[in-house]
Structure formats: C-alpha cells, structure tokens
Structure 1
Amino acid sequence: MALAAIALAGGTAFTDGADLPDSESATAYALLAEDGGTPTTSGNIVWKPSGDPAGEMLAKIRTLPGVVDVTEPRVDTGTGTAYATVVLDKDADTAPVTEAALAYDSPDFDVEVGGQAFTELPGASHGTEAVGIIAALVILVLMFRSGWAAALPIVVGVVGVAASLLLVMIASHAVDLAATSLTMGALIGLGVGIDYALFIVNRHRKNLSRGRTITDSIADALDTSGRAVVFAGATVIVALLGMFVVDLGLLTGMARAAAVTVLFTILAAITLLPALLAILGTRVLSKRQQVTSHRPTLSARWADLIDRAPKRAATAALLVIALIAAPVTMMRVGDADASSDPVGTPARAYHDLMAPAFGDGFDASLLLVAQVPDAASSTAFTNLATSLAEVPGVATVAAAGRTVLTVVPETSAQTEETADLVHRLRDEVIPAAERGSGLRVYVGGTTATSIDLSDALLGKLPLYLGLIALLGFLLLAVAFRSILVPLVGALSNLATILVGLGAVTAIFQFGWGSALLGVGSGAPIMYLIPVLIVGVVFGLSMDYQVFLVSRMHEEWAHTRDNRRAIRVGLTETGQVIAAAATIMLCVFASFGFSGERIVSGIGIGLGLAVLVDAFVVRLTLIPALMRLIGRANWSYPRWADRVTPRVSIEGPVLETIKS
C-alpha cells in the first residue's frame, strides 16, 4: 500500500532516450549540438492532391504551441502529392499538430503525418498479459484439480510483479528508464513468478499426500523447492544484470527493472506463499487427490522411453533444435521502418502516400556533418557535396547548413542497400574527399544511428554469450559438484538461446507469420530483441536445469545409481516442468499479440524458446545425454572439490550426505 501511495502521488518520469555508443553518428550529433540553439525534432505532413486547403492547414499549424517552423511545401507534379516539414521543440506535444492536420482529411483530400516527431515509441503494455494469466489459471486447474492450489501461483506471481512495478515507477524519477521497462518487468516477472510458486506448491502437495503435517510439509517445501527457487531466481537476476556489458542505456534500464521484478517474485514465493499455504491447510488438495494412485504417470512413461532409447531421443532432440535455430545464421539487426507496418495503420498510410512520389528513402535521410577548419577544407567539402549525387544509392543531396548536408538514399531505412550506402560513404567516399585536407565529415541521422547501435550490439553479443555460458557452468558446478552436468547444461542453454533467436528471425525478419501477430511484414530485428532474449532465456533455461537436475542429484546422493537418479528426477519433475513451461508460453505469447513489433518479438521469441527448452532440451535431450554418459555425470576432481564452496539446493538432508 505504501508503494502504491508513493507511486500514485509522484507519478512516473520515464524517458525514451537511448545512450549512443562511441560512434560516428554520436560524433555527428555532438558537432550539431555545438552550434547551440534550441534542440528540435521534425516530422512531415503529406497530402494529395496538392493545393487548397493545404495553405489554410499549414497556416493553422504554424500558430500551434511548440512549432518552430513549417517549411514551404515540396510538390511532386507527377502524382500530385505534396509535403511540408514541421520543426518542433524537442519536448513539444505533437498531438495538437496531428489533430490539426487530420482535421482536413477527407475523401477528396488525403492527409497523413509521419516522420521522427510523429513516430509513437512502444510504451507500457495494454493489458494483454491478462490473457496469459487466464490461460495459466486454466492450466493450473487442470493440473492440480483444485481451485485453491491453482489460484496460489497466480496470486503470488501477480502480487510480486505489482509490488515491483510500483517500485520501478518510483525509481524512474532517479534512474533513466523507458516506459517499456514496465512491459519487460511484467512479461518476465509474471512468467517466473507463477513458475516459482508452482514448484513450491507442487512439492507441498506431494508432501501432504504422503501424510506429512501441514507445518512440516511447508518447511520441507521451502527447504527443497524453495532453495531451488532462490538459486534459479538468482541466476536470472545475474543474467539480466549481465546486460551491462552491452553498455546501452535503454537496455540496462530494462535489465534493472526486470531484475527488480524477479527479486520481488522470489521474495513473494518464499514469504507470502508459505503464509497462504498455512492458512489454506489441506484445501490445496481435493478429496480425490488424497487417495493414492499406483498408476504410472505420463512423466514416468516418458522417463521409461528415454531410458530405453537414449540415442534416438538425443538425436531427435538435436534435429528439432537445429531446424528451429537454423534461421539465426541469416539474422539482420536493425530498425523496421514504416514500409513493414501493417496495412491500414497511420504509419503505413503515411509511407504509402510518400514513397510513390518522393522515393522509398524519403524518411531515411543521412546527415553529413563536417568540421571545416580552413579554406582548403571548405573547397574539399564543396567538392564532396557535388560528387555525392553520383554515388550509387544516393537519390538527392541538399545543403542543410554551411557544414551540413542531407543525403536521401534511394532505398528505405531497413534495407541492406541503405546500410551498404552508409558504410560506402564512411569507408570510401568521405575518406577520398578528406584526403590532403583538414576536412573531417561524420555521417549521422536516425538511420545511421540505428546502424551504429546494431553494429555495437553485434560486436558485444559474442562477449555476452561467452560470459553467461561461463557463468552457467560455474553456477551449476558449485550446485552439483560435477564437470559434465554443468558443461552439458551450459551448452544446452546456448542451444536454447539460438532456438529463440532463430524463431524470431523466421517470424519477424522472414515474415513467416508476422502478419498474423498484427505487426506487419518482415523486417530487420530491433537490436533490443537479441540481447533480451539471450539474457532472459539463459536465466529461464537455468531454472529448468536446476529444478530437473537437483532432483536427480538428490536421488544420486542417496542411491549412487545414475540410471535410477535420471528416471526418478524426470518422473517427479516432468509434469511440473511441462506445466511451468506451458504457463510461461501462455504469458509470453499474450505479449506477442500486443501489436508492438519489439514487444511481440520478445514475447514470441521467449515463449517458443521456453517451450523448446522444457520439452525438447530439459525433458528429452538432457536426460538422454546423462543416460549415455553414465556415472561420469557426477565425477568431480578432488582439487576442485576442495576449492569449491559448498552450496546445497536440495536441503539439509542432502547436505549431511555430502559431508
């Protein structure tokens, strides 16, 4: 209640700005800022046919608050289309301009607005997560056959997420956070929060069905599944905070918000949930479920199948992983432009009106900002401006100031041809013009910035992947005192990450189903998506690995029978891992239908990755490989045993056995 009161009183202070890496586009913006003046942003108003009532419309817009300038219309006589650029103060409200322009829209006078100033950035979710929560509740009812037991994970997950998001709203006044941080927190927090509570409730119900008292059952559930939840949640938090190596402000802000949400869901699972379990008592079990059944479960039959044919199971799992992950080899990172937006949306209507008249690159202009220290440099800059019109891929060149040129490409911002043009200008055309003079020219603009962000990401992504793979290996080695189990776990985590990236590439870049999600046609993958998928999928994969192998390890410590340990671990955790993954798929997939390309990409990528990770990797590939490896799974060098901290995630009984 205190968090809610503070959040409602203070409101939010989210920012949509992104820190630029040390790049050429950042230098170009810095040079522009040195000229002083009020920071501005601009967008376009386009109409067809040219002529009245355009004059009246533009005159009205010039009088609106925040409008700095409205340029003279540019007309394409061939199509009868015209547009004017509106320059606004950086923080001006664009809604009055949009309303004033669209007020003149009619069947005989088509008006659209677009460009940077009028582009709506993704914001907080619009309640799509409610669909995922309802689906999760249905799955839990089917699994537990008890309304009370089904409601507990939902209640605990929602409370943990709600409290954390209130804190994120308050923190937005002190830390730079985008509004999408709320969506990311809700997306990840609901998935892991419901799952964490599910594992504890499942253990408690099993204890009760075996005749343990309520108090003893809750204590045991916290000492076993509760420990696993804390360990697994900590790995998710570490993976999210590992995004700091990418060093992009927007991403690190989202990572901080998501990490806080995961922390709150852990706290809710180990504090609120036990209290609710104590209050409900045996009501978490239905009368029918209190009767012991000796029929083999589906998990037991699956464990038997894996035990009898481990080679075929491992081969089939690897083929599925390779098939889904294959498109990642063709992934392109960049920004989607209006040409890929769904037909009928304002951005697509703006593009379809502008492009036939003024070319596909009308909204992908590049800013060439120059340092001209002397007369020789000034001559070289003039020669560059003249020669640019002959460069392949350049549509038009215009002066935007004494030392600034605007270059409009022939192709749209999201195409490979435009990216190639930027690199050609930087690597060939501009260095040739600078040679022998003090002239220095930097390529900037929104399109160049997107390319620089993508290049910076791809340069650091291998480091991030390597870091989390090493982290996963070390954490699992500490937990299970084994070399092969952590090695297989770390490699399988990387395989799941590639599955998520491959699925996103196929759906959102190739366009295989993107229209069904309401996000338009295929386009490059926004740089946020790969990093978030890498970090979150690693953490979630570690969750399932910990829950599965900890039960195997517990049985191994008691029996020293590798085959039995695998069968028991898979039998007792298979159902709950399958249910947890299905719940997380529902939660993530509900964000996939948000209509926002970035949010949808993250939701679908995470959902499919979790689905494959649970059913193909954890419940098939891992037990099959461990069955083939044999007792060597649990081998650990004596020197490593002496230096490795003793951390048990299976409870004090196993700690005694280990010692």
Structure 2
Amino acid sequence: MAEFLYRLGRGAARRARTVLGVWIAVLAIAGIAFALFGGTLSTAISIPGTPTTQVTDRLQQELPEASGGTGSVVFQTEDGSPFTQEQKDAIAALAADASEVDGVENAVDPFATEAQRDAQRTQLEEGQAQLDDGRAQLEAARAELDAGQQQLDAARAQAEAAGALETAQPQLDAQQAQIDAGRAELEAQAAAAEEQAPQLEQGAALLNMAQNIRMVSEDGSAAIVTVVFEDTQMEVTQETKDALVAVFDDAPVEGVTADFSTDIAQGIPTIFGIGEVIGLVVAAVVLVVMLGTLVGAGLPLITALIGVGIGALGALAFSGVVEMVSVTPVLGLMLGLAVGIDYALFIVNRHRRQLKAGYDLEESIGLANGTSGNAVVFAGSTVLIALLALNITGIPFLGLMGTVGAACIAIAVMIAVTLTPALLKLTGMRILSKKERAAVSHAEEAASPTAVPGSTKPMSTVSAVLTALVSIAALLVIAIPALDLRTGLPDGSSEAHDSTQYRAYSTLSEKFGEGQNGTLLVVAELDSEPTEAEATAVQAEIAGILFEQDGVSAVAPIGSSEDGSTIAFQVVPEEGPTSESTENLVHTLRDMSPLNGEYEIGVAGTASGNIDISDKLSDALPIYLGVVVGLSLLILILVFRSIYVPVIATLGFVLSYFGALGGVVAIYQWGWLSGVFNVETPGPILNFLPTILVGILFGLAMDYMLFIGSGMREAYAHGAPSRVAVVQGVRAGRAVVTAAAIIMVSVFGGFVFSHSAMIRPIGFALAFGVLLDAFVVRMLLIPALMHLAGDKAWWLPKWLDKILPDVDVEGSSLERRHPHVDHHEPEPASRS
C-alpha cells in the first residue's frame, strides 16, 4: 500500500491541475445530482417491527381513520382573555381550510368539539333525569297499586266475614285483575327504564373518564386544532406540513397567536450555521500556529470543504429515493470536516518536515503520501469499518447514518491522498514560511524528518503509577452520570424557548396538562362482533381498566372498526412524552394484555414509538459495542504486533466512551452548566447517540493510538529501550495529535450551539469524547501503562507472529526503498 500511495502521490503532483479539475468536476456533479434528484429529509425516526409499528399497521387495515399521524395547532389569546365569537369563527374557518390540504384527513374544530361534548353531557344528564323521574313515577304508581291491593284485600275480608263473599267474588276478581294488569304494565315500564340505565351509566362513566381531554382550556383562552394526516406519523411529508403551516400563517387571527407542535413544525436542521463557522475559524487558527503559513493552513481547509461538499451533496442526492433522517447529512458533514482537515494535516506536516530536511519537492510529496498517507488510509479504514458496522444493528436509519458517514470518510481519505499531493505541488515551497525557505536554501537544516532532538530519558515509575491511577480515576468519575442514562427523542420541551414548538408544548402543558403533549393510542381486539349495546359495555369496561392505571389522566374511545371487533382509545398520561412515568405506563399497558384474559391490546402513538425506538437501540448497543471492541483488538494486534498494547488501547477507548456519555448526561439530562451549553430544558439523551458515538469515537481513538503507538513501536524496533521508546513515541506524535485533536474538538464543538436539539448533544459528545481520548487516554494513560509494562508490552506469541501479515503503517520499508539523496552535498570529483 505504501508503495502504491508513493506512486499515486508523485503522479498526482505531476498532473496537479488535472487532479484538481477532476475533484472540482466531481463536486459539480454532486451538486447537479442533488438539484435534480434530491428529495426531502425526514424529521421522524422509525424502526420496522416495533410494537408501535405493528399496532399502526393493523390499524391501517382495520381502522384506517385512526392510523394517521396527528399534530396540534395551539391557539392562545394574546391578553389571556376568553376567545370572542369572531375569533372562534375565524379559527373554525382555518380548521376547515386545513382539512382541504393534500395529505390531511381532517382538522378538528375545537369549539364544535366542545359544543358536541357539552351536548352529549346535557343529553346524558337529561336522560338520567328522565330516568330518575320515571323511577319516581313508577314508585308512586307502585305505591298506589299496593294501596289498592290492600283495600281490595280488606274488602274481601269484610265480604267473607259477612258471608257475602260468593256474591261479591265476581266484582272482587275484576278489581284484582285490574290491579294485576296495572302491576304487570308497571313492571314492564320499569324493566324498559332499567334497560336504559346501564347505557346511561356507561355513557356517564366514559364521559367522566374523558373529562380531562379538552380542546378548549377551562378559562377559554386557549384552543387546540387537532390535525389528522392521511399517512402514518412517520410517513407525513414535509410538503404536507409546510402547506398546513401556510394555511394558518397566511390568515392570522387578530389578537390570537398560533403555534405548532413538533409533529408539524419540526423542520430540517440547517446543515451549516454560525457555530460551525466558529469551529472552522478555530481550526484555521490552530493550523496557522502549527504550520506557520496561511498557505499551509488553507490547504487542509480547502481539501476538507471540497470533501464534505461532495459527501453532503451526494448523500442528499439520494434523499429522493431513500428515507433519510435529517441528522444524517449533518453527521456526514461533522465527520467529513473533522477528519478531512486532520488527514490532510498529517500529510502536509510530514511534507513540511521533509522539505526542511532538504528533500526535493516531488520526492517529498511522494514520500509523505506513502508514509503519512499510508497511515491516513489505515486510520480512515478503521473509522469506515466501524461506521459500516452500524448496519449490523438491524436498524435501518442507523445503518444509513453509518453508511453516509463512511462514504464521507472514504471521500476524505481519497482526497487526502490525491488532491493534497496535487495542491502541495501547486503550492510549491510556499508551504514553508520565508524563514524556513531561507534556512532550506542555505542547507542549515539537515536532520531526518523523524528524528527526535535531544537526549531522551524515560519517565519515573512513580510518575507512571500516579499518572495511570489519576487518569483512570478521573475518567471513572466523569463516567458516573452515565449510570443514570435515559434515552429518548427530543420533544417540544427541548426546543429553543423562542421556537413555535416550545411555545406550543408549554401552552399545552400549562392549559391542558403535560400528558396532552404525548397522548397514547391503545387498540383493543375483541373475539366476536358485539351488538351496539354490548359495544358500549365493552368500551366502558376496557376504558375503566385503563383509567385505573397509575399515570393515566384521561381515557376516551375514538373509534371502532366496521364490525366492532377493533376498538381504539385515546389515553392521556399524567406527564409528558419523555417522562419516566409515561415510559412505565406504556410497558405496563402492554404487559396487561390480554385484559381480563379476553381483550388483546396494543399501544401506539408518537410517545410509544419513541419509547420503542429507544428500547430497540438500547438492546442493539451491547452487541455493537462488543463488535467494535473485538474489531479494535484485531486491528491493533495486526498493527502493533502485541497483545498488551491492543488491550490497554481498547480499554482506554471504553473509558473515554463512557466518560463522554457521562458528560452528555450531566449537561443535557441533569442540566449541569446548562447556561454555558444553551440547554434550556434538560431531558433524556438522544436515543441513537450512544450507538453512533461508539462507531465514531472508536475510529478517532484508533487514529490517535496509531500516531502515538506507531512512534513507540518504531523507536523500539530501531533499538531504543522499551521505556525510552515510549517517551520518543509520544514526543514524535504529540504535536500532530494535539493539533488534530484541537481541530476535531473545534469542528465538533461548533455543532454544540446548533439550533437543532438533535444536533447539539451529538456535537458535544464527539468533542468531549475526542478531548478525553486524545489528551487523557492517549497522551497520559497509555504512555504510563506502556512504561509500567516495559518490554512485556511488545510480547506476542511466536505462532501468532508467524501468521500475522506485516502491516507497515508508517511506511518504513518505503523509506528504505526510496532513500533520501541530499542534493545539497557536492558531487564527488571524478577520477582522471
């Protein structure tokens, strides 16, 4: 590989303008493809086969009108007074217009709904009053009949006492028959009245259980227009959402504000914002400080920007045919920028050192590409493999994220080993400062580009022990919050407080209760087709059981299939969609199936779907982490030909990973330093963050281990004592690793201040993880542990040493095949 990259670098240098033109053409093609074929990104995340998806699919067949996604438009008077009739009429008109939008099944007029509910309540009350009046009348009639019976019995007794019973018998019998007929009619009326009683009682019970489900607040100052979409929540298009928002924005109601729930207004996050620009500026400053010239600093930035342009536009070009979550291209942008700058920096830094050592321009470009470029290819391959391994989780959107991220890494590597040599040739000696060029011209520097100046002394054993203990203890303490990790998806409460989503969420919580932001859909399956009376009884029975559960605020039946065998209920939790009580409620309801041993139930809805996704991701994380750890061990054994080094390097990665998670939980879930990091409402951690962090941080950790550890191995292989080799390796690699880590932290850190609640914790986790891994694990912990192991650090079983291929990551064999010729030395005089 090193020889191939050497030739590739020299070839790219000879045809520099052609290579530059080809990459610019590829960038243009990616832009054209995006313009022609790019579709819309999705803000919803779905995983096939989850309990929520299964219930939704069943509803689409049995009860399609209840399977569509929903969203809320929240109206509130500006002065807090009740709506006027004109305002009510205007809102009702907007709801009617919203119902006509393509993709919208219905938009419910809140005032008509409340009026209908009041009418139902009045009807039930009137029915109950009539029933009570009827019962009273029946009791009075029954009392009259009883009195008549007593009189008749007394008359019969008198006639018998007077001996005139036989004469009076016909008249007495006629009166008895009349009383019996009246009693029979009375009992029939009573039976008819009592037949209505259960239905009235069941209706009253259902109405009572649903009393906390309101469309208009009790004070009359807020109202909810519930929008029902034709497609499921995960399939509602952005065009439908945009058209819906336009209906309400284009005709504002005077004195009334309208805000949209996250189901409607959660837009696509901006791919590049002010925070990212600041991160790039910091990266540029680091490059200038390290490389000493604006030309040198600009070169890695140019290659990185071209790479991410190709990667991001190329990924977006497929968004028309592949369902792509909105955060996917942003993740590719993060990775492409960070590794694109770093990979070019490694090659440029090597090239500069060689030029200062007296190498010719093209000779230096080829060797830099064959040595540092070889390390770049290997390092990039580890990141690429880790990201592609996300596909083994069986979670489509996560696998696509990994694939897009891997594609951006691959592009960054290809640009680093082709475009960087071309730009180095076009830049020429200007990659060095004037002072450095003057020094080269006078041949004042003749040191080897890999030489470490000065004498080297190993660290003391006491210092190594203390460093190792303090590093491990610090990482473990930082990781403690990770024990309390709760995952979920962002809801309106985590959005910026000036956003419409947050205002809608807070209004719903304040005026209607937190649970209104995360209603559940419970579907019950009956074994038989009930009659109308039986259906009401079953609805009341099931609703009653659901209503009795802890954490339930209200229950209401919202529809049933044509044959009545499938019944859907709206269940409103007491707390919000990301609360522990709501999560527990979902699991409790599912565990109760079958209710009373006869009704199979399922739970769906946005909150339920998010809980399912979090559970699925949590189940997949240990498997993926195990695969990555195993992969880490194999790769490092291959590179360093050691057992000890891969073990401590992998354990170091695990420590930095959980340390990064601990920092994320402390800030974004617990709310520590929330003002600094713009965390306005702490809550659960983005559910796919722990998994995606494994793949990315693993790859970057292997990069740093490669550039630090290979220097140690090279020094040891050249005869340095093992503990001296540790110090030499750190000295040789710390400058470039420090610069690379600062650049990555700067780029990732720029995303910490993104406007999107999904992007911010990802940016922080990557930035903090890189910070811990580079400066604590690789710079402190690993050297300390290597010192303590001594020569045993490089032990490898002989049988394994024989079967392992020789991976010359640093390209040492290449340097032997292409030794440097010092052109500054005078040629020897020819013999006469």
TM-score category of the 2 structures, normalised to the smaller one = over 0.9
Instruction: Report the CA distance shift for 1:145/1:480 in structure 2 as closer, same or farther (over 3 A).
Output: same
Match of 1:597 in 2: 757
2:683 and 2:810 map into 1 onto residues whose CA distance is 46
- Which of 274-283 and 73-82 deviates more? 73-82
Query: Residues 554 and 654 of structure 1 are in contact (CA less than 8 Å); yes or no, is this contact kept in structure 2?
Result: no
Q: Which residue, 54, 60, 64 being the options, matches 1:33?
A: 60
Deviation at 1:389, TM superposition (A): 1.6
Query: Residues 43 and 118 of structure 1 are in contact (CA less than 8 Å); yes or no, is this contact kept in structure 2?
Result: no
2:290 and 2:617 map into 1 onto residues whose CA distance is 42
Matched, 1:499 2:499: no
- Structure 1 vs Structure 2 CA RMSD: 2.7
Q: Which residue, 63, 70, 75 being the options, matches 2:216?
A: 75
The 3-state SS of whatever aligns with 2:487 is coil
Counterpart AA for 1:423: H
Query: Residues 483 and 635 of structure 1 are in contact (CA less than 8 Å); yes or no, is this contact kept in structure 2?
Result: yes
> Could you tell me the percent identity over the aligned residues?
33
Deviation at 1:370, TM superposition (A): 2.4
The 3-state SS of whatever aligns with 2:550 is coil
Matched, 1:111 2:258: yes
- Which of 46-55 and 100-109 deviates more? 100-109
2:409 and 2:805 map into 1 onto residues whose CA distance is 25
- Which of 418-427 and 59-68 deviates more? 59-68
Deviation at 1:182, TM superposition (A): 1.6
Counterpart AA for 1:12: G
Which residues in structure 2 correspond to 1:258-657 (within 5 Å)? 258-289=405-436, 290=439, 292=445, 306=459, 309-374=463-528, 382-402=540-560, 403-428=567-592, 430-431=593-594, 433-435=595-597, 437=598, 439-653=599-813
Query: Residues 541 and 613 of structure 1 are in contact (CA less than 8 Å); yes or no, is this contact kept in structure 2?
Result: yes
Deviations, residues 156-199 of structure 1 (Å, cap 9, x unaligned)? 21122212223222333443323322211110111011111111
Deviation at 1:76, TM superposition (A): 2.5
Match of 1:201 in 2: 348
- Which of 267-276 and 217-226 deviates more? 217-226
- Which of 511-520 and 226-235 deviates more? 511-520
2:551 and 2:557 map into 1 onto residues whose CA distance is 18
- Which of 602-611 and 322-331 deviates more? 322-331
Query: Residues 46 and 84 of structure 1 are in contact (CA less than 8 Å); yes or no, is this contact kept in structure 2?
Result: yes
Deviations, residues 412-438 of structure 1 (Å, cap 9, x unaligned)? 01111111111111223x34x151x3x
Query: Residues 343 and 416 of structure 2 are in contact (CA less than 8 Å); yes or no, is this contact kept in structure 1?
Result: yes
Match of 1:95 in 2: 242
1:301 and 1:623 map into 2 onto residues whose CA distance is 19
Counterpart AA for 2:665: T
Deviation at 1:609, TM superposition (A): 0.8
Instruction: Report the CA distance shift for 1:246/1:344 in structure 2 as closer, same or farther (over 3 A).
Output: same
Query: Residues 307 and 624 of structure 1 are in contact (CA less than 8 Å); yes or no, is this contact kept in structure 2?
Result: no
Match of 2:83 in 1: 50
Query: Residues 507 and 513 of structure 1 are in contact (CA less than 8 Å); yes or no, is this contact kept in structure 2?
Result: yes
Deviation at 1:625, TM superposition (A): 0.7
Match of 1:59 in 2: 93
1:228 and 1:369 map into 2 onto residues whose CA distance is 57
Deviations, residues 61-112 of structure 1 (Å, cap 9, x unaligned)? 4124234322231223246432221224443533344344356667843432
Deviation at 1:23, TM superposition (A): 2.4
In our comparison, the structure showing a higher alpha carbon Rg is 2
Deviations, residues 20-53 of structure 1 (Å, cap 9, x unaligned)? 2432212111111113758743222222333431
Deviation at 1:656, TM superposition (A): 8.0
2:270 and 2:719 map into 1 onto residues whose CA distance is 53
Instruction: Report the CA distance shift for 1:137/1:176 in structure 2 as closer, same or farther (over 3 A).
Output: same
Deviation at 1:138, TM superposition (A): 0.9
The 3-state SS of whatever aligns with 1:13 is coil
Query: Residues 519 and 595 of structure 1 are in contact (CA less than 8 Å); yes or no, is this contact kept in structure 2?
Result: no
Deviation at 1:457, TM superposition (A): 1.0
Query: Residues 101 and 113 of structure 1 are in contact (CA less than 8 Å); yes or no, is this contact kept in structure 2?
Result: no
Instruction: Report the CA distance shift for 1:72/1:301 in structure 2 as closer, same or farther (over 3 A).
Output: farther
Deviations, residues 220-246 of structure 1 (Å, cap 9, x unaligned)? 222221111111100000110111122
Deviation at 1:137, TM superposition (A): 0.9
Deviation at 1:302, TM superposition (A): 14
* Aligned pairs, number: 650
Which residues in structure 2 correspond to 1:7-22 (within 5 Å)? 7-16=33-42, 17-22=44-49
The answer for unaligned runs of 5 or more in structure 1 is: none
Instruction: Report the CA distance shift for 1:115/1:151 in structure 2 as closer, same or farther (over 3 A).
Output: closer
TM-score (norm 1): 0.92
Deviation at 1:324, TM superposition (A): 1.8
Query: Residues 236 and 536 of structure 1 are in contact (CA less than 8 Å); yes or no, is this contact kept in structure 2?
Result: yes
2:360 and 2:366 map into 1 onto residues whose CA distance is 10
Instruction: Report the CA distance shift for 1:335/1:408 in structure 2 as closer, same or farther (over 3 A).
Output: same
Matched, 1:257 2:404: yes
1:411 and 1:451 map into 2 onto residues whose CA distance is 14
Instruction: Report the CA distance shift for 1:408/1:200 in structure 2 as closer, same or farther (over 3 A).
Output: same
Counterpart AA for 2:240: D
Match of 1:222 in 2: 369
- Which of 226-235 and 509-518 deviates more? 509-518
Instruction: Report the CA distance shift for 1:94/1:165 in structure 2 as closer, same or farther (over 3 A).
Output: closer
